[in-house]
């Protein structure tokens, strides 16, 4: 009995090339169960020839961070305007509107009084008083516009709006204190109301919620 019969494909000696494999290929060589040009255990198993398996996330490759919501990365940044600030904003609009109305009425009154004085020949004596009245009207108009502009900038303004509102509220409180010098019940009531409004606006601007709101990131 002889081994290596060339006519018997299974008669080759054990350990020689081709035992149990197609002729001309050895175990682990390209062609046995793998695409041509790739060996067992090499990259690209199960993928087209010449293409390696893509890296899987989490195995040495950092994953992309999740998308942060509005204000992400800034702890304590509020998503909406705090309630006390909304109250202060409404008060600014109300005060600004009332100051604008009073300024217009005062201007009409001063102008009418000066015309009457001119008609009776005493316009020169009352001219200085009329000038002072118009100056006060201008101050009242300036405060009215200031309050309305501040209220409008609460939604998109920065920390400068907060500081300016603190100044406005402080001046408003000082102006309200002068009402107590009138000596009448109506002036005292006006002073109390003014102190309450100014105190609410000032308190809304000096707390941590207002600081976080006006310093929040904007995109």
**pLDDT, tens digit (0-9, with 9 covering 90-100), for 118-162:** 888 777 777 888 889 999 999 999 999 999 999 999 988 899 999
Residue 200 domain-assigned (yes or no): yes
Domain extent, residue 166, equals 83-214
Residue 25 domain-assigned (yes or no): no
Nearest to 95 by CA among 175, 22, 16, 36: 175
> pLDDT of 59-80, one tens digit each?
454 555 444 444 444 455 557 8
Give the chain's mean pLDDT.
75
Whether the pLDDT of residue 21 is over 70: the answer is no
Residue 75 domain-assigned (yes or no): no
- Sign, Cα dihedral of 60, 61, 66, 71: positive
Residue 141 domain-assigned (yes or no): yes
Percent of the chain with pLDDT over 90: 40
Residue with tokens 């209220």: 151
Residue 115 domain-assigned (yes or no): yes
Lowest mean pLDDT of 57-61, 105-109, 145-149, 177-181, name the range. 57-61
Residue 178 domain-assigned (yes or no): yes
Nearest to 114 by CA among 102, 129, 103: 129
180 — pLDDT class (breaks 50, 70, 90): confident
Task: Report the number of distinct structural domains present in the chain.
Answer: 1
182 — pLDDT class (breaks 50, 70, 90): confident
Residue 65 domain-assigned (yes or no): no
Residue 31 domain-assigned (yes or no): no
Six token digits for residue 52? 């390696």
């Amino acid at each position: 009995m002889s081994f290596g019969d060339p006519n018997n494909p299974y008669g080759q000696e054990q350990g020689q090339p081709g035992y149990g494999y197609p002729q001309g290929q050895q175990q682990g060589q390209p062609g046995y169960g793998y695409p041509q040009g790739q060996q067992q255990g090499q990259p690209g198993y199960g993928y087209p020839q010449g293409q390696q398996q893509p890296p899987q996330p989490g195995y040495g490759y950092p994953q992309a961070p999740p998308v942060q919501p509005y204000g992400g990365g800034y702890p304590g940044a509020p998503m909406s305007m705090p309630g006390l600030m909304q109250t202060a904003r409404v008060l600014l609009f109300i005060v600004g509107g009332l100051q604008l109305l009073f300024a217009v009425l005062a201007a009409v009154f001063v102008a009418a009084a000066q015309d009457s004085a001119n008609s009776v020949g005493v316009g020169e004596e009352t001219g200085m008083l009329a000038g002072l009245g118009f100056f006060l009207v201008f101050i009242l108009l300036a405060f009215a516009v200031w309050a309305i502009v501040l209220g409008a900038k609460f939604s998109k303004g920065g920390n400068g709006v907060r500081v300016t509102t603190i100044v406005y509220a402080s001046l408003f409180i000082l102006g309200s204190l002068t009402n107590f010098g009138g000596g009448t019940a109506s002036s005292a009531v006006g002073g109390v109301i003014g102190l309450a409004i100014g105190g609410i606006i000032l308190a809304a601007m000096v707390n941590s919620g207002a600081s976080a709101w006006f310093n929040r990131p904007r995109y």
